[in-house]
Amino acid sequence: MITRFAPSPTGPLHLGHAYSAILAHDSARTAGGRFLLRIEDIDRSRARPEWEAQIYDDLAWLGLSWEQPVMRQSDRLPVYRAALQSLWDRGLIFACQCSRRDILSAASAPNEGEPLMGPDGVIYPGTCRHRDCTSGAMPEGEALRLNMRMALAGQDAIRFTETGAGPMGETGEITLPLAALIEGIGDVVLSRRDMGTSYHLSVVLDDAEQGVTQVTRGQDLFEATAIHVVLQRHLGLPTPTYHHHRLIRDEAGKRLAKRDDARAIATYRAEGATPDDIRRMVGL
Ligand code: GLU
């Protein structure tokens, strides 16, 4: 078994990260497998070297060890570009010039109430899909979206194996009807204007490159898994097993966020907590 922990160096690791990292690490160790680390630093406006340094420090303090070298997404932009080019050449992605406001107003048809939300926010209403913008060279500096209908053509359903559970208790062999993806997810962005890639595209390429066989991550990413399986099919990549775990919440039941410095591992360390205390706090 090959597992991984893939933090973004955009803030301190908190209890939720510790839970995810320990879970992935321990399941690899129990299975006699490998535990890998990946730094998800494609968001250059938010990623900071000091957060990355703090991640290594906190994980080592927790007693985790991982293989070297550590993969960093910022080193892999040409790989992401090549994958986009291959999707572009097959007409599976299209350029999108819509602003957030354009999307919101097109998605909020009069008298229809609130626009539908997917894993990435408002479901794209399709405006640029209808423009003839798939011919010619792949544009630079524009958002590129997956044409979900086209990507699902000829398939009967999207399937993956879940060894943890989704937010509604979904577990085992998951089968998602195509309508759930077309209506509930839609044409997600695969390359952001400011990044040249996206979380979805990078995570799929990187998990495959690292040979990850079990993706361990929070339940908040369960819905996004369908996008990842679609991309794996089109990029000729294997689909790993997924293990989505419960989220660590604060006393009010709210899930912890990056800015939740009060629950940062570094704060607990400074207050004298031990790694075993952290394990106990997250219920391990
Ligand atoms: N980088 C993501 C995060 O920190 C995790 C992505 C994943 O595990 O697939 O939330």
Domain segments of the chain: what residues? 1-75+249-284, 76-238
The band of 21, judged by pLDDT with boundaries at 50, 70 and 90, is very high
This prediction has a pTM of 0.94
- Ligand 1 pocket test, pick from 203, 214, 245 with the greatest ligand atom count within 8 Å of Cβ, gives 203
Quickly state the pLDDT bin for 133 (edges 50, 70, 90): low
Mean pLDDT for 108-130 is 83
| Share above pLDDT 90 across residues of the chain, in percent, rounded to a whole number | 79
Classified as helix, coil or strand, 24 is helix
> 131 CA to middle of ligand 1, Å?
33
| Residue 194 to residue 202: CA distance in whole angstroms | 14
Q: Is the pLDDT of residue 110 over 80?
A: no
Q: Coil, strand, or helix at residue 195?
A: coil
Same fold, 1-75+249-284 and 76-238: yes
What six digits make up the tokens of 281?
């706090």
* CB of 36 shorter than 6 A to ligand 1: no
**Could you tell me the two tokens for 283?**
């219920």
Task: Determine the distance separating the centroid of ligand 1 and the alpha carbon of 217, expressed in angstroms.
Answer: 7
Q: What's the token pair of residue 167?
A: 């937010």
Compute, in angstroms, the gap from residue 200 CA to the centroid of ligand 1: 10
Q: In what order do the strands lie in the sheet with 189-191?
A: 93-96, 143-146, 189-191
Mean pLDDT of 152-159: 94
Q: Which atom of ligand 1 is nearest to the CA of 220?
A: 10
Distance 6 CA to ligand 1 centre (A): 5
Does position 194 have pLDDT exceeding 80, yes or no?
A: yes
pLDDT of residue 245: 97
The mean pLDDT value for 186-210 works out to: 97
CA nearest ligand 1 atom 3, residue = 7
Asked if residue 260 has pLDDT above 70, the reply is no
| 54 pocket-lining for ligand 1 (C-beta < 6 Å) | no
Output b/e per residue, 219-251; b: 16+ Cβ within 10 A: bebbbbbbbbbbbbebeebebbbbbbbeebeee
User: What is the second-level CATH architecture of the domain 1-75+249-284?
Assistant: 3-Layer(aba) Sandwich (3.40)
CB of 217 shorter than 6 A to ligand 1: yes
- Place 252 in a pLDDT band, splitting at 50, 70 and 90: confident
In CATH, the number for domain 76-238 is 3.40.50.620
Mean pLDDT of 140-167: 95
40 ligand 1 Cβ < 6 A: yes
- State whether the beta carbon of 73 lies less than 6 angstroms from ligand 1: no
pLDDT band (50, 70, 90) for residue 132: low
Q: Residue 188 and residue 41: Cα distance in Å, rounded?
A: 20
Q: Which of 136, 93, 127, 57 is nearest to 231 (CA)?
A: 93
